Amino acid sequence: MFDFLIVGQGLAGSVLAYTLLKRGCRVMVLNTETKPAASAVAAGLYNPVTGRKMVKTWMADTLFPFLEEFYAQVAQDTHVQALHAMPIYRPFASIEEQNDWMGKTSNNALDFFVQQIAGECLYDDDIYNPYGGLALQHCGYLDTIAFLSSIRQLFIRQQCYCEENFDYKKLEIEDTRVQYGDYCAKFIIFCEGPGAVQNPYFNWLPFSLVKGEIIIIEPDRPVERIYNRGVFVIPVEKYCKVGSTYEHHHLNLEPTAAAREQLCEKLNILLKIPYKVVSQLAGIRPATQDRKPFLGMHPRLKPLVIFNGLGTKGVSLAPYFAHELVEFLCRGQELSAEVDISRYFQLYNRVIA
Ligand SMILES: Cc1cc2nc3c(=O)[nH]c(=O)nc-3n(C[C@H](O)[C@H](O)[C@H](O)COP(=O)(O)OP(=O)(O)OC[C@H]3O[C@@H](n4cnc5c(N)ncnc54)[C@H](O)[C@@H]3O)c2cc1C
């Protein structure tokens, strides 16, 4: 008998399974590599200041210190350093923006993340930034492929990974446990990312899937830091990842010429270094209507649990919210109202009415 079956081994399933194992729980991860995983395409950026208005992201003060500690702990156990802390430089878009930032006091809510506010242009050889910009710290990127494969090896070594295309029809649900083939557990936690829309138990939740594409470029000379304005440019060895696009309607996995052109157009406004595009990737983000994750128990079938809806920010959201879900399941602590799926129970009631 397991404590938890986990369906899916993207960022959500991996981080959750690891957190549960650390608690001493008996876990089995069921995952198929035959389905596309958003996590395998993700650029892996964790960036505390986002958007055109350069504001602090939701819960950054809590999420970012937590993620740094979490991925460091995984690195110790897997011997693979997948998290790469690296400064992000964001050029100002205008003289007004420069003035706004230069006028901010040191008690700014962003202090923890701001390394330098530059009034003059920096890194002039690399990028266009006539008004200077903002250098950020406590940020960087997760090499998601390295993370997923190293943690999978850890699960395999601990005999808690099974390559399985989960078949919902084979699941037997009782009041206090579930049975799936030979596996019996107290709870099953669904972490199928965008695949959740096929899940008959949770497909009433308002997902709002978003296709994203990135390009991989080879610049003429090395890039030393992450640049971010319009697009992000993340140096990974001799290449850079550049992204990303947002497409709400055509939710397929085909890379498109239009996305490539859009990314190159924005990149040419930012980057001075000549480059060539060497490849292009597309994936589907498991985003939600209110842009908050989905955590919690099924309204009627208590052994069924979901951990999903990480949207555009799986790298930073997964560690803290996996911890929150584990506290809920193992110690009965309440989930935050903003992420608890009970906020949508009226949709479920409408479906079954
Ligand atoms: C182009 C792009 C760029 C991105 N960039 C970033 C970024 O820079 N930073 C960031 O934080 N986030 C980024 N994201 C978002 C990030 O990818 C997601 O937030 C995150 O990967 C979601 O993880 P997940 O585990 O929920 O889903 P997934 O990674 O999709 O994992 C789901 C897993 O479940 C498995 N599965 C599904 N159904 C079944 C089944 N029936 N049986 C067995 N297994 C099943 C799949 O095979 C897969 O392995 C990006 C996404 C895209 C598409």
- Given this structure, which CATH class describes domain 2-42+145-207+289-352? alpha beta
Cα–ligand 1 centroid distance for 146 (angstroms): 14
Ligand 1 probe mutation, 213, 250, 312, most atoms within 8 A of CB: 312
Mean pLDDT of 86-104: 90
pLDDT of residue 351: 78
Q: Does 16 contact ligand 1 (Cβ within 6 A)?
A: no
| Ligand 1: centre distance to CA 11 (Å) | 6
CB of 189 closer than 6 angstroms to any ligand 1 atom: no
Q: Where in the chain is the domain with CATH 3.50.50.60?
A: 2-42+145-207+289-352
Answer whether residue 104 shows pLDDT above 80: no
Q: Which of 259, 228, 262, 242 is nearest to 127 (CA)?
A: 228
- The model carries a pTM of 0.97
What is the distance between the alpha carbons of residues 165 and 255, in angstroms, rounded to a whole number? 25
The half-sphere exposure of 6 on its side-chain side, counting CA atoms within 13 A, is: 30
List, in sequence order, the alpha helices (H) in the chain: 11-22, 38-41, 60-78, 95-102, 144-157, 257-270, 314-331, 345-352
Ligand 1 site, residue 195, Cβ cutoff 6 A: yes
Token pair listed for 321: 């919210």
Tell me if 273 sits within 8 A of 198, measured CB to CB.
Answer: no
Predicted confidence at residue 105, as pLDDT, reads: 60
Q: Ligand 1, atom 44: nearest CA belongs to which residue?
A: 31
Cis check for the bond before 149: say yes or no (omega within 30 of 0): no
> What digits encode the pLDDT tens for the residues 222-269?
999 999 999 999 999 999 999 999 999 999 999 999 999 999 999 999
Query: What is the pLDDT, as a whole number, of residue 107?
Result: 53
pLDDT digits (tens, 9 = 90+) for 6-49: 999 999 999 999 999 999 999 999 999 999 899 999 999 999 99
Query: Residue 308: what pLDDT?
Result: 98
* pLDDT confidence tier of residue 141, bands split at 50, 70 and 90: very high
- The rounded distance, in Å, linking the Cα atoms of 1 and 177 is 9
CATH of 210-285, one of 3.90.1150.10, 3.30.1380.10, 1.10.260.40, 3.30.9.10: 3.30.9.10
Per-residue pLDDT band for 101 (boundaries 50, 70, 90) equals confident
Dump pLDDT digits (tens) for 296-353. 999 999 999 999 999 999 999 999 999 999 999 999 999 999 999 999 999 998 877 7
Contacts of 51 (CB under 8 A, 6+ apart): none
Report the share of the chain in percent with pLDDT over 70. 99
Residues forming CATH 3.30.9.10 domain(s) in the chain: 210-285
Other C-beta atoms lying within 10 Å of the C-beta of residue 172: 10
Ligand 1 pocket test: pick from 213, 260, 310 the residue with the most ligand atoms within 8 Å of its Cβ. Answer: 310
